[in-house]
Amino acid sequence: MARITSQIDTGSDSFLANAAHNRGLAEELRRRQQDARFKRPQRDLDRLARQDKMFLRDRLEALLDPGTPFLELSTLAANMAYDGDVPGAGQMSGIGIVSGREVIIHADDASVKGGAWYPLSVKKIIRTLDIAIENRLPVIHLCDSAGGFLPLQRDLFADRYYAGRIFRNQSILSKMGVPQLSVVLGHCTAGGAYIPALSDYSVIVRGTGAIFLGGPPLVKAATGEEVTVEELGGADMHTSVSGTADYPAASEAHAFAIAREIVGQWTVADKTGIDWIEPEEPYYDPQELYGILPRDSRTVFDMRELIARIADGSRFHEYQPAYGTTLICGYARIWGYKVGILANNGVLFNDSSLKGAHFIQLCDKNRTPLLFLQNITGFMVGKEYERRGISKDGAKLIMAVSGASVPKFTINCNGAFGAGVYGMSGRAFDPRFMFTWPGAGTSVMGAEQAANVLSDIKIRQLAREGRSLSEEEIAAIREPVLEDYKREQSAYYATSELWDDGILDPVDTRNALGICISAALNAPIEQPHYGVFRL
């Protein structure tokens, strides 16, 4: 593959201003992530110490193989929900290496509301298990939860993708032959009791670990029976009487030693083979991404410059470079893995939509994973384009994205708006992993457009009634819409609601993608098969 020739002047005023702006965004991201991971009220840390419990991050360190990478997912889930009081949605999720095996880890954070499950906690756990199913990744559960947060039970209990989906997903993983291990470090109450019960293996810590459908207060209220935690669901009872747990542990450190030994017995599955060569670092410095990304997401720039800072050797074989130029398509390598890249260089027209659909089919046929780099305002609108069939051609791209059998990965680099999100493998189209960069946004349309549209609708409505609005009245309609859209299209709102798998510092993108591609290859790639394309 030929190396991309960069046209960037790294000494220009615009580059330096962009770099300062985007480094600031990256620093803000790191600060927020650090707070979500470690900042807790002292009373909660003291409570863990009294209970002889390790802090979640120390648990993670005890479990993972030393010196190996760990890709944490959705670190900032719920950062704009519940008054900011439930960092990480009270859960930790990520991909790492345990006893030489690639696994995904789900862990309750007992330093956040006793590990109680909020609605977004449930959503995060379900997403973790969806990833396990899609990629056939073994799962390790670190269990320490007070159970569902009862004041919000209506939003976490009864519906299809509420708490029951956790246990359904565990059952599907078992059906698929994907191993699961639970380490019971605290209470597994009510529905949470099913997590260890549905796992292939379970380790429980004596004195702090407990499994029961109803704790002692509930048992007394329901039956009048008085019973202690240990009698009802402690380690000795469950490992010698009920058989619900397999291994008692004297301490958390002992539990992690047992867990690592168990995982070490698991068979390492053969990975799906795709085109791979020895990796090489990008020729251009990834730090230059900060200077390339514009301060204003509406500013045009060449997405090839991003590819040059992510791809191995900054090499890229572009497909149909002179056709459908608002969508860049071509082959590159990420950590040695060959990938097909689709990157937006403007609005999607008829020709760029057709080009993208055809390129996806080519990649699908030769087992090449797909990487979508979103920077999209949508499909082109207007009389001319509708007559040429933009809806039909856009539907072809959507059909190809939906039907592709190879793993898909999506990065929202600068903005993703309108139906362009669909054509570029948004969340609804099941990319194996999806990430957002700090300055990116997503919504049905941009904030300015939404404010203008809604203001115009109101003005037209009043005009039909023979009334008109002053500039002040128009502003009173427009400004609240503008503020709401700006807030809700931000990367932090998207990740708070788990519309992605986390916000990435742009310079970390290549490493994150390497981990994700490797994880995805635990699952087989099916033969290409599509629905009907309207020709």
CA–CA separation, 364 vs 43, rounded Å?
53
Query: Which token pair is 290?
Result: 């900060």
What confidence score (pLDDT) does residue 184 get? 98
What confidence score (pLDDT) does residue 471 get? 80
Dihedral (Cα; 458, 464, 467, 468), 10-degree rounding:
50
CA–CA separation, 502 vs 72, rounded Å?
8
Around 290, how many Cα atoms within 13 Å sit in the side-chain half-sphere? 17
CATH topology for the 43-263 domain? 2-enoyl-CoA Hydratase; Chain A, domain 1 (3.90.226)
Strands 337-344 and 370-376: parallel
Strands (E), 206-283: 210-212, 247-249
What confidence score (pLDDT) does residue 376 get? 93
Classify 244 in phi/psi space as left (phi over 0), alpha (psi -120 to 50) or beta.
alpha
For the chain, the domains span: 11-40+270-445+490-535, 43-263, 447-488
493 and 80 Cβ atoms separated by less than 8 Å: yes
What confidence score (pLDDT) does residue 56 get? 97
Task: Note the CATH architecture for domain 11-40+270-445+490-535.
Answer: Alpha-Beta Complex (3.90)
CA–CA separation, 413 vs 439, rounded Å?
8
What confidence score (pLDDT) does residue 499 get? 97
CA–CA separation, 493 vs 272, rounded Å?
35
Backbone angles phi, psi at 356, to 5 degrees: -65, -45
What confidence score (pLDDT) does residue 234 get? 96
Per-10-residue mean pLDDT, the chain, length 535: 97 98 98 98 95 96 97 98 97 98 97 95 98 98 91 89 96 98 94 94 97 90 93 96 97 98 95 97 98 92 98 98 98 98 96 97 97 94 92 96 97 93 96 97 80 80 80 81 84 97 98 98 94 90
Sign of CA dihedral 435, 439, 443, 446: negative
Burial string for 465-474 (b: 16+ CB within 10 Å, else e) reads eeeeeeeeeb
310 and 509 Cβ atoms separated by less than 8 Å: yes
CA–CA separation, 219 vs 518, rounded Å?
47
**Cα distances (Å, whole numbers) of residue 246 to 181, 182, 197, 202:** 10, 10, 10, 5
What confidence score (pLDDT) does residue 452 get? 79
Query: Which token pair is 28?
Result: 């803000």
Around 131, how many Cα atoms within 13 Å sit in the side-chain half-sphere? 29
Reduced to 3 states, what is the DSSP secondary structure of residue 265? coil
CA–CA separation, 260 vs 99, rounded Å?
6
64 and 70 Cβ atoms separated by less than 8 Å: yes
In total, the chain counts a number of residues equal to 535
Give the number of other CB atoms < 10 A from CB of residue 358.
17
What confidence score (pLDDT) does residue 12 get? 97
Reduced to 3 states, what is the DSSP secondary structure of residue 411? strand
CA–CA separation, 431 vs 127, rounded Å?
12
11-40+270-445+490-535 and 43-263 have identical folds: yes
Reduced to 3 states, what is the DSSP secondary structure of residue 33? helix
What confidence score (pLDDT) does residue 473 get? 79
370 and 355 Cβ atoms separated by less than 8 Å: no
Query: Which token pair is 382?
Result: 């207007």
Radius of gyration of the chain (CA): 25
What confidence score (pLDDT) does residue 86 get? 97
Reduced to 3 states, what is the DSSP secondary structure of residue 384? helix
Element (H, E) at 183: strand 180-189
What confidence score (pLDDT) does residue 61 get? 97
Amino acid at 324: G
195 and 145 Cβ atoms separated by less than 8 Å: no
375 and 415 Cβ atoms separated by less than 8 Å: yes
Q: What pTM value is reported for the model?
A: 0.94
Comparing C-alpha atoms, which of 182, 109, 171, 110 is closest to residue 140? Answer: 182
Give the number of other CB atoms < 10 A from CB of residue 152.
17
The strand pairing partners of 434, in sequence order, are: 410
